[in-house]
Amino acid sequence: MREKRAMDGRRRRFLLVQRPRGWPRAEDFALIEEPIPPLAEGEFLVENWYASLDPAIRGWLDDRPSYLPPVPLGEAVRATTVGVVAESRHPDYPVGRWVVGLNAIETHSVARPGGFTSLVDVTQVDSPTRFLSVLGAVGLTAWFGLHEVGRPRPGETVLVTAAAGAVGSLVGQLARLQGCRTVGIAGGPDKCRRLLERYGYDAAIDHRGKDAAALAQEVRAAALDGVDVVFENVGGPSLEAGLLHLNRHARVVLCGLIAEYNAPEPVGARNLWQLIVKSARIEGFLVSDFLPRFAEGTKALARLLAQGRIVVDEHVEDGLDRAYPAFLRLFEGTNEGKLILKIR
């Protein structure tokens, strides 16, 4: 079925059919085929080549107030995609142009211009997937989260959790380029080896099998001068351990809380009193806060990539049929690099 095209007038979609409680289960989703709806004036049809599988998607599946409305039941699961305009009723998005946008995990998305929608030039990159990794939200999240929220100064120590992940691996490299000492926390010896050998971390901590107290000891040993910036993607014990070793005026950049997303009950973060005694802060952000500066960030990242000063790993799973098991990898931590689903 994957070879079906827009001209067939049909599309395949990965739908949310019930809201997950805790870990998403296969029954929460359904793959269906249906006719592509006709375009209204101002809309265009994107033939999706790749979809970005991000931890944030898990939050969009819950029915709770957030920065985007929940994915409606019976609708395709929201995701950023990169693809080609296949039909158009919008003059700025002509047929044949490559486009990135917040669409869904489906072969064809009916799109309108929106906050994230942009035409991209795939001749400038070795793969269109770059617009879902280093030149997309992942890269911009690392760039603006580190530089604008964390604001590390040369010589400071930056602690990164999920340090081998799509965002974390970039944050470590960017912090190092900034003249910082970098400590990464990841799960398992293989990832820790990648932190040191591939992403240039100065120290790596394996969180497997360790509670907050044990992690705190390892953080202390790896950051004897204390931690100035925490780039937090995980939450739970790793956040609690990081909080115990903050320097005065430290900044905890709250990018994600993947440890909480599948928890049936909210998880708490202890040790907040450290924020008082260290005059430190935890600051959350969304990459969309920096929308007016996306071009600036993308340009800087493209330059570093072209100069070979950062490495970017992508983990591409093949086929819409793989959407569910691929999505689960984010929470199992079995992806190596930015997780992307190849759709076409």
Contact set with a second copy (CB under 8 A): 59, 66-67, 235, 254-257, 260, 266-286, 289
Q: Closer to a second copy at the Cβ: 86 or 167?
A: 167
**Least distance in angstroms from the C-beta of 116 to a second copy:** 16
Distance of CA 217 to the CA centre of its chain: 28
**Least distance in angstroms from the C-beta of 262 to a second copy:** 12
Q: What distances in angstroms separate CA 34 from CA 8, 9, 38, 57, 225, one per listed residue?
A: 11, 9, 12, 23, 59
Q: Closer to a second copy at the Cβ: 89 or 281?
A: 281
Distance CA 235, CA 194 (A): 22
| Bridge-based pairing state of the strands 78-88 and 98-104 | antiparallel
10 Å CB burial of residue 156 (0-12, 13-18, 19+) is: buried
**Least distance in angstroms from the C-beta of 129 to a second copy:** 25
Q: What is the CA radius of gyration of the chain?
A: 20
Q: Closer to a second copy at the Cβ: 105 or 234?
A: 234
* HSE toward the beta carbon, residue 327, CA cutoff 13 A: 26
**Least distance in angstroms from the C-beta of 36 to a second copy:** 32
**What are the tokens at 244?**
């115990």
Helix axes 137-144, 166-177, angle to 10 degrees: 40
9: left (phi over 0), alpha (psi -120 to 50) or beta: left
Query: 């142009």: which residue's tokens?
Result: 97
| Bridge-based pairing state of the strands 78-88 and 44-52 | antiparallel
Nearest to 247 by CA among 214, 217, 272, 275: 275
**Least distance in angstroms from the C-beta of 212 to a second copy:** 9
Q: Closer to a second copy at the Cβ: 26 or 277?
A: 277
Q: Closer to a second copy at the Cβ: 56 or 312?
A: 56
Nearest to 60 by CA among 107, 12, 103, 101: 103
**Least distance in angstroms from the C-beta of 94 to a second copy:** 35
Residues 253, 232 contacting (CB under 8 angstroms):
yes
User: In what helix (H) or strand (E) does residue 87 lie, and over which residues does it extend?
Assistant: strand 78-88
Query: How many other C-beta atoms lie within 10 A of the C-beta of residue 172?
Result: 30
Q: Closer to a second copy at the Cβ: 275 or 311?
A: 275
**Least distance in angstroms from the C-beta of 246 to a second copy:** 9
Q: Closer to a second copy at the Cβ: 32 or 267?
A: 267
**Least distance in angstroms from the C-beta of 287 to a second copy:** 10
Q: Closer to a second copy at the Cβ: 8 or 289?
A: 289
